[in-house]
Chains A and B, each alone.
Chain A
């Protein structure tokens, strides 16, 4: 069994490896009835160019409503099938709401913004972002959480290291843990 595991571990080195780099950050926006949690993927410049070649059809450096819709049609269903590469737990229970998806192109960089409603009774949110097939390498940005508007609640966050199994190796993954009081 152990021999097989070791063999699998090395065979994993044959498999997919990322060429697309994504910097992830989160934002909390306070509203009167419900807050919203946005998770932003910032693609690397080279992959952004590759996608914008296909989707920024008028080559003006921004995505029009129609171009955004075309991009959404192509990627949204695929991302939905992999749960948007996100594993979110709210109050220690899986949070499987389909987010609002907004792609945008700014300064040659492609951003995917996923917005989730966050009810006021939220005490903790735990977010892990990982492409387990490893076509994307996803890392949290240096400031992983920003509060976008005033909020009378005390909000703290921390990043927590955990590991996922991938071909019998343990791959380190960082989770963002937000606590609201």
Chain B
């Protein structure tokens, strides 16, 4: 699912966007140098890994799109400053929505943790939608809180306040994720030892734990939202800033939810008895523990 999503986005992006295009009236003459290929540059350890280049390209592509969108958002704010036009609210919302969507597809934003949870437990597709939306909501709300607190209550550097808050919240998030992962592992192992399948099922189907996980993964504030809000406050365009932040939230919610739902659907398809997929029980058990270990590793990496 993830690869499929990557493929479509990369394909939609079209031609190479990394090489700058010098203008014809440039004062220097352009020479030709052949481009290097991955075979020239890739370390031995990753040659042949499926998706290594695709993910890298996707990442670069998403960054370029975000840079252009952010520039257009700040341009719209400047335009609003000059001539108050209501249609700019709509265009800022759309631009911010796209920015939030592309931003959420990049690294971070709790996709790995949520995905690992759903890989391990399975769930209804609607739970993926709720969990993704909750993660995005907490992610944005955390940023808004920091801006309101930092801008209106603290006289010192806002940049320093933001960085400190990020460090503290990331530490809290990391520990909470590790704790949740270890708890899941302990319950899973205990039920294995006792051969109590009912308990495993009860644990797997409890929706509360995924929402707790969503809240903790979303706690680290989104600097993108912080920058947009500060920009709007500085230009005295707070209402437009609120529209922009709503757009970022909606885009992020769509991005995180889509990936969560894709993982739930894929797991459900692969492990369903109806598909009679060869070895689906083995796959189910593998997913169960792989997901838990990924959650714990994710927490460790965030420390």
A residues sitting closer than 8 Å to B (CB atoms) are 1-2, 5-7, 9-19, 21, 44-47, 49-51, 53-54, 134, 137, 139-147, 154-166, 168-174, 177, 179
Could you tell me the dominant secondary structure of chain B's interface residues? helix
A15 with B28: CB separation less than 8 A: no
The distance from the CB of A70 to the nearest CB of chain B, in whole angstroms, is 11
13 more contacts with CB within 8 A, not counting A166-B56, A179-B31, are A9-B51, A13-B55, A45-B74, A46-B70, A50-B158, A53-B159, A142-B20, A155-B29, A157-B22, A159-B20, A160-B33, A168-B46, A174-B19
Q: Mark B1-44, 1 if CB is under 8 A from A, else 0.
A: 00000000000000010111111001111111101101001110
Residues of A near B160 (CB, < 8 A) are: 54
Q: 14 pairs across A/B with beta carbons < 8 Å? A: A14-B107, A14-B112, A19-B223, A54-B159, A134-B107, A139-B64, A145-B28, A146-B27, A156-B31, A159-B22, A163-B56, A168-B46, A169-B56, A170-B56
> Knowing A9-B49, A14-B302 touch, does A172 contact B107 (C-beta < 8 A)?
no
Which of B18, B48, B57, B111 has the most chain A CB atoms closer than 10 A to its own CB? B18
A11 with B301: CB separation less than 8 A: yes
Name the segment of B124-132, B196-204, B225-233 touching the other chain: B225-233
Residues of A near B262 (CB, < 8 A) are: none
Q: Mark B99-138, 1 if CB is under 8 A from A, else 0.
A: 0000100111001110000000000000000000000000
B224 with A19: CB separation less than 8 A: yes
> Knowing A13-B112, A21-B67, A147-B28 touch, does A54 contact B55 (C-beta < 8 A)?
no
